[in-house]
Amino acid sequence: MFESALSLSFTSSRFDYVRRDRTMGFMYTLRALIKSFLVVLLWSKCESRESEFNYVTCGSLVKLLNTRHNVRLHSHDVKYGSGSGQQSVTGVESADDANSYWRIRGKPNGTCQRGVPIQCGQAIRITHMTTGRNLHTHHFSSPLSNNQEVSAFGENGEGDDLDVWRVQCDGSIWERDEVVRFKHVGTDAFLSVTGEQYGNPIRGQREVHGMGTANQNNYWKAMEGVFILPSQEPLKHHHEEL
């Protein structure tokens, strides 16, 4: 009788051990599955956020590189000595110059919500960060090549309708790693560099001008900068204009 009870007790204990072992195994498996799910979810969110960095967005502060001549679009409070006499715009080889930052903004009276990717074909203004003047062109001859003069114009980001450029790119959105063209809305000229160099007081800087034909001299690429991400808040009826 004692042996039977002992045998029954041993069998019951072994059954409880096996059951606990299976339960623990199930719990470990469940935890592993939950962890895997959370990792995948986190990765997908990171991938989504990372993809948002691939575009140039409204409000972004960027340096623009002319890929043919390897110079960045630049300006400074130095006026042209001929032509319009407005603030000069040049190209510089240095990647570190703070005077090469430009803010991407909407056209006057247009909607350009902060953080929203710029569409191919969209009309924009390109505003010099340091001086607050807009990239501008008009029917004055440029000093060195006799193409169309490009200047920086206006005050505190406000100029006129000759400050508007249209982004030309291959897809639907301006991607950071692709080359684009900027076609002036008012005169149909392309923002270009052909290599002419200035002397003093801006020795070595390249002339930036407008050209009537699309070619390798008017390809630009977004380089260094602060790229504004889309807001995580729901869209409101009013838009923040930049």
**Residue percentage of the chain with pLDDT more than 70:** 74
Tens digit of each residue's pLDDT (9 = 90 or more) over 92-150: 999 999 999 999 999 998 788 999 999 999 999 999 999 999 999 999 999 999 999 99
Whether 161 has a pLDDT exceeding 50, the answer reads: yes
**Residue 18 near residue 25 (C-beta atoms within 8 A):** no
Residue 41 binned pLDDT confidence (cut-offs 50, 70, 90): very low
Whether 82 has a pLDDT exceeding 50, the answer reads: yes
Q: What is the CATH number of domain 56-226?
A: 2.80.10.50
Residue 47's pLDDT is 39
Confirm whether pTM is higher than 0.85. no
Q: For residues 153 and 156, what is the distance between their CA atoms, to the nearest angstrom? A: 10
Tens digit of each residue's pLDDT (9 = 90 or more) over 173-213: 999 999 999 999 999 999 999 999 999 888 999 999 999 99
Please give the full DSSP string across 36-96, using - where no structure is assigned: HHHHHHHHHHHHHHHHHTTB-BTT-EEEEEETTTTEEEEEEEEE-SSTT--EEEEEES-S-
Strand partners for 57: 117
Residue 49 binned pLDDT confidence (cut-offs 50, 70, 90): very low
**Residue 181 near residue 165 (C-beta atoms within 8 A):** no
